[in-house]
Structure 1
Amino acid sequence: MSRAAAASDQSAGRIGPNAIIQTAEALRLLRGEEDARRVFAAARLEPYLTAPPADMVDETEVIRLHRALRATLDDDAVRVVSAKAGQLTALYLLTHRIPAVAQRVLRLLPARLASRALSRAISAHAWTFAGTGIFTARPGRPTVYEISHCPLCRGQGTDHPICDFYAATFETLFARLVHRNARAREISCEAAGASACRFVIDW
């Protein structure tokens, strides 16, 4: 993608298709085809089940999908499905997007250095998963990521963090590239009234 096209996608609020593709896959794996169709129909995205998006999608579609998950499934099921979708997304990135040479270098580095290098890469590509949200990273141990105006929980209200998709994506990437004991957790969420969704990654 050219820089001009990337800038246009960022300003328009577009998100990589894995936010939809891997959520469909997680639903099918964990809940079956019927629940996948229920959720995607509620989000008005049912055509994606037979013809998955090949390019960046409008962030409003991702927002609708996550709202539909919460409207269709119980809270525990939503958390499990969202986390599985995040894990699948990270595995896709490791297989298809992050060069094998870069992965080998990260694994050879001390965890602190690897976490900084990985955080730089994630920050550079944050527009592909945060849309019009604003991503910031504070590398170190622990590493802290924040997403303000977060698309996953935009317009939703809960009493606990709900961005399990992001937490699982970050955790899987860190566990594979930084330290096998890496864990990520969302400590505050805009849906619960926080100023930003905050994720702490430690190992």
Structure 2
Amino acid sequence: MAKIGPNAILQLVPVLEDAAGPDAVAHMLALAGLSDLPDPEEGLMEEAPAARLHQVMRAEMPDVAPMLADAAGRRTGDYILANRIPPAAQAVLKCLPARLAAPMLAKAVAKHAWTFCGSGVFRLVSTWPVVFEIADNPVVRGEHAATPLCHWHAAVFGRLFSALCGPGWHCAEVGCCAQGARACRFELVRSG
């Protein structure tokens, strides 16, 4: 049974509640097969219902799903910064020039990819420029779309790099499994 970090849904649910209200969220959770939210202290959760909640959100709220996934991804990044990356490591990264900090952070992201890509296959394509791929991404598995769907992943990556490697980082998903690509491909660029 594949596992994923519980923040894949724990940071999404409050965003959904703000946008649609508790009744709509209860409906979406039921459609995703989630009777209870996971306890973040219990570690990883089953991947399938977490992925289904993202898919249900896209089906039920297609016009605002990208914006909601982006907000949940930024919240997930904030959670990671507050709870998962030691303050000393954050301080070191913030003191380094982006050309040195970004590759270090990219390697750390790759080392912990199991927490956000579940049964998908993560690959660090390049550390400068920073490029990630997730093949067989469970968050979009089985979906078909004309545009990339992984706004949550892109927002997590963008938030972490902007906080730790200098402001102005943006993560763009330039190819998505839902579009028929071999892998969801994320490119990080810094403006300015």
| Shorter-chain TM-score above 0.5 | yes
State how far apart, in whole Å, the 2-side matches of 1:98 and 1:31 are. Answer: 32
Q: What is the distance in 1 between the residues matched to 2:35 and 2:18?
A: 17
Q: Does 1:39 align with 2:24?
A: no
**Aligned CA distance change for structure 1 residues 139 and 178 (closer, same or farther; 3 Å):** farther
1:135 to 117, 122, 125: 122
Is 1:163 the equivalent of 2:154? no
Is the 1:138–1:144 contact (alpha carbons within 8 Å) kept by the matching residues of 2?
Answer: yes
Q: Distance in 2 between matches of 1:100 and 1:131?
A: 26
Counterparts of 1:20-99 in structure 2 under 5 Å?
A: 20-48=9-37, 52=39, 54-74=42-62, 76-99=63-86
SS at match of 1:156: coil
Q: After TM superposition, give the deviation of residue 52 of structure 1 in Å.
A: 4.6
CA-CA distance at 1:27 after TM superposition: 0.8
What RMSD over aligned residues (CA atoms) do the two structures have, in Å? 1.4
The residue type paired with residue 38 of structure 1 is: H
Q: Whole-Å Cα distance in 1 between the matches of residues 50 and 148 of structure 2?
A: 18
Q: Counterpart of 1:7?
A: none
Q: Give the TM-score normalised by the residue count of structure 2.
A: 0.93
Residues 54-92 of structure 1: per-residue CA shift (max 9 Å, x gap)? 431111112211221122112x31111111111111100
What TM-score, normalized by structure 1, do the two folds share?
Answer: 0.88
Q: Work out the CA distance in 1 between the residues paired with 2:35 and 2:27.
A: 8
Q: Secondary structure at the match of 2:36?
A: helix
**Structure 2 unaligned spans of 5+:** none
Structure 2 residue matching 1:202: 3-state secondary structure = strand
1:131-166 residue CA offsets vs partner (Å, 9 max, x unmatched) = 111111133443111000101100001111000000
SS in 2 for 1:139: strand
Residues matched between the structures, number? 189
- Aligned counterparts of 2:143 and 2:52: Cα–Cα separation in 1: 11
Tell me whether 55-64 or 159-168 shows the greater mean CA deviation: 55-64
Question: Does structure 2 retain, via aligned residues, the 8 Å contact 1:115–1:139?
Answer: no
Structure 1 segments of 4+ aligned residues over 2 angstroms from their partners: 29-32, 51-55, 138-142
Aligned residue for 1:18? 7
Range moving further from structure 2, 127-136 or 30-39: 30-39
Find the residue that maps to 1:159 and give its secondary structure. Answer: coil
